[in-house]
Amino acid sequence: MTPPPAKRPGPNVEAGPLLSVTDLRVHFRTRRGLAKAVDGVSFDIHKGETLAVVGESGSGKSVTSMALMRLIQPPGRIVGGSVLFDGEDLLARSEAQMREIRGNNIAMIFQEPMTSLNPVFTIGDQIAESTMLHKGLSRRAAMASAKEMLDLVGIPEPGLRLKCYPHEFSGGMRQRVMIAIALSCGPKLLIADEPTTALDVTIEAQTLDLMRKLQREIGMGILFITHDLGVVAEVADRVVVMYAGRAVEHGLVGDIFRRPRMPYTSGLLDSIPRVDPKAAERAQLTGIPGNVPNPDALPSGCAFHPRCAFAEARCTEAVPGLRPVGDDHAARCIRTEELDLSRDHGRSR
């Protein structure tokens, strides 16, 4: 995989962020105690920008995205923080107001389209529902818009496909339908939660190309949730790396890939398959030992220290804060100034 450029042509940040998340916290009450699934996460997304949130399963990525949409259900609860969208705090909105926002100003694509699409309604009905609800279109106008959306996302013979049911579509076509539904109202922000996980590599590439194309045309911001750093290199402007409910590193995608400053980020990058004939030792993948801890039983200090090759006794004493390590780059590690984790210079203590 070719590393992404150090800097991409970014969005205009002078107008302020489209979405600003500050100290977001989501807790779940369990039989074993309190699980802090999201514990103080902060980030911004600007218009026209793609922010990727990455990490292993159990790191809190999807819970973060569901919290932004106010879709957390008991025993989960958003216990703190703010989510400013266009200057308004979504956490202070009523449920009725959130229903107006969901699918209209903020849209979401879920990981598995077959479980998100209703099997007893046609594709056309499911796309038209959003524009009828949020834009007040008549059924005829909504179906005409649905046909245009299917054509926009590359579904052949869109007029005929409107009458089909989800089971008559392939996985890739169903994912395109989900994108069509999400974009039917022209949202300002698209949240894509593992949208390519169930797709083969060819359909994945087509889906990512489609999302980039539509982003350029509409100018929307994208929050891209994934565990696949290879996808991040293709689509993202900036990256937030999550571990055990916390952001452990964030920065420009090129900076993160070339010089990660947190051992967990470095471990994720080492697990990406690559072909590098100039460095035979890189041909073998290096995994991260152990597993993400349960959010209701986090280790003391840095949550990553039981799995970290660079851990010291002091790493167990207190949770490190995010430390600035460059322009728009921060890492949650007390040894970040000592370690050389760059992609060009290898690993050293």
Which tokens hold the place of 12? Answer: 């205009």
For the segment 42-61, what is each residue's pLDDT rounded down to a tens digit?
A: 999 999 999 999 999 999 99
Grade residue 309 by pLDDT with cuts at 50, 70 and 90: very high
The neighbouring-strand residues paired with 247 are 242
Q: What is the edge-to-edge ordering of all strands in the sheet holding 246-252?
A: 106-109, 189-193, 221-226, 50-54, 238-243, 246-252, 329-331, 323-326
Residue 274 has pLDDT above 70, yes or no: no
Distance CA(39)–CA(183), nearest Å, equals 31
Q: For residues 215 and 51, which has the higher predicted lDDT (pLDDT)? A: 51
Q: What is the DSSP code string of 169-180?
A: S-HHHHHHHHHH
Nearest to 237 by CA among 8, 48, 1, 2: 8
Residue 4 has pLDDT above 90, yes or no: no
Q: For the chain, where are the E strands, in sequence order?
A: 19-30, 33-45, 50-54, 76-85, 88-89, 106-109, 189-193, 221-226, 238-243, 246-252, 323-326, 329-331
Distance CA(132)–CA(137), nearest Å, equals 5
Using alpha carbons, list the distances in angstroms from residue 247 to 21, 32, 42, 230, 251.
Answer: 12, 24, 8, 19, 11
282 — phi, psi (to 5°)? Answer: -85, -10
Ordered domains of the chain (ranges, CATH): 19-236 (3.40.50.300), 246-331 (no CATH)
Distance CA(328)–CA(324), nearest Å, equals 8
Q: Which of 123-137, 158-172, 280-294 has the lowest mean pLDDT?
A: 280-294
Distance CA(42)–CA(31), nearest Å, equals 28
Distance CA(182)–CA(131), nearest Å, equals 10
pLDDT at 272: 78
Grade residue 347 by pLDDT with cuts at 50, 70 and 90: very low
The reported pTM is 0.88
Q: Average pLDDT of 241-266?
A: 95
Contact 191, 18 (CB under 8 A): no
Using alpha carbons, list the distances in angstroms from residue 332 to 54, 265, 295.
Answer: 15, 10, 18
The neighbouring-strand residues paired with 41 are 24
* Residue 239 burial by Cβ neighbours in a 10 Å radius (0-12, 13-18, 19+): buried
pLDDT above 90 as % of the chain: 63
Residue 278 has pLDDT above 70, yes or no: no
Distance CA(123)–CA(106), nearest Å, equals 21
